[in-house]
A and B are shown apart, each in its own frame.
Chain A
Amino acid sequence: MVDQPKRPDPGLRLLTLAAAASVLWLASYALATKLLHRYPDSAMARGALAALGILGFVLWLVAIARLIRVQDEFERRIHLIALAVAFGATALLVFAADFLQRAGFVDRLLLRTIWMAMIALWWIAAMVVARVCR
């Protein structure tokens, strides 16, 4: 029997791509955050650093979207439900934080808290939904 050359698994390839995009995003975020305050007088430098941070996030989003697209309909349904849960929970979080802020119980809500919470809630919800559905 002749050994057939192994073709790379497209799912595994995209998983690697998503992992690389995650590392790239975190690196660009860390770098942009670290350097942003070093150039208070240069709008161009600050703009470029902000663009670097945003570009890293866009690349990560594209990689994750492609990873979800190659999954089967069941896995895609899990992510759809998880995204809906994350959206609702984040909206609730922001709504509650707004009221608590106006009532004087909490300080100003940092914008980065919102996207961090949304991503964390998405993955937590995906794990919970996957467990419930299996």
Chain B
Amino acid sequence: MSGVRVLVGTRKGAFILTSDGKREQWNVSGPHFAGWEIYHVNGSPVNPDRLYASQSSGWFGQMIQRSDDGGKTWEAVGNKFAYEGVPGTHQWYDGTQHPWAFARVWHLEPSLTDVDTVYAGVEDAALFRSVDGGQTWQELPGLREHGSGPRWQPGAGGMCLHTIVLDPSDPERIFIAISAAGAFRTDDGGKTWQPINRGLKSEGIPDPNAEVGHCVHHMAIHPSRPGTLFMQKHWDIMRSDDAGDSWREVSGNLPSDFGFPIAVHAHEPETIYVVPIKSDSEHFPPEGKLRVYRSRTGGNEWEALTNGLPQSDCYVNVLRDAMAVDSLDSCGIYFGTTGGQVYASADAGDTWAPIVRDLPAVLSVEVQTLP
């Protein structure tokens, strides 16, 4: 019988949650790497037992861990992230130029076709790739050297490359997003990049047509329609149907269009999910009600999903990498909160239940559908 494995990164370790296809009874394993910040854990689509984890610490720096048995055992692999050449400067909070400096790995994206190839999005923003299972890392410098780098600036969480979307129909095409620079696309396997931010409107940027400077929070695609991108920006839910060449807002009737994650249903390319947050100053759900919003029309028309979620006195946040879907026949949706809950829905969001309630603050959630 098929099952699911939920990979959870938290402020104090990683947890692995497993269940059969019914998704009713759960086994919780962890903490792995207890006491460390686990920004992201992700599995290879080629071999689901190959996992990669970003383990970091303000004291001890960055580690990358790899598992070949679905997270039962782990091996530390390479942690040398060296920018190519002289990395130059980016804009600092006060508007001055600031040297590029590596801080941590935010996101790990395993290749769709090769188990030993994995991409790493890092702070200060850059994209690295390993082709030897994480032992060594090489930067794809064409992104950082795009030319707009001196105008990139950190968001509140640092200047991080946090989203990597691989196009399943074109191995040369990759989408990435940086806070706060915006979204970029390569069509030649990472050699050259172009900003894809036309149509994004960001308060605080005087130029309404600014090429970069946008605080994109997350992006997602459906594998069957890789030209359609959905974006949760700092404010605004956005949609592109031309691979990012242009964007239009689809926030519609949401109570707030501020938020962090966005996800697409595994079998319905026009069904998308967001978790509205009150504002950029108050990172918790409006009215203290934790509500996932679902649109079955690719945006604009949204319905609140509340069954099983706390509808009073709830003041948690859901971070950008903390929502994911499985691909079982009835699509499962999962998200983790800064309050340490991981919620799951086995019916596309109609009903929810917590898998665990008291983990450390959740930084990331990924889901593997197992054969």
A and B physically associate: no
Interfacial residues, chain A to chain B (CB-CB below 8 A): none
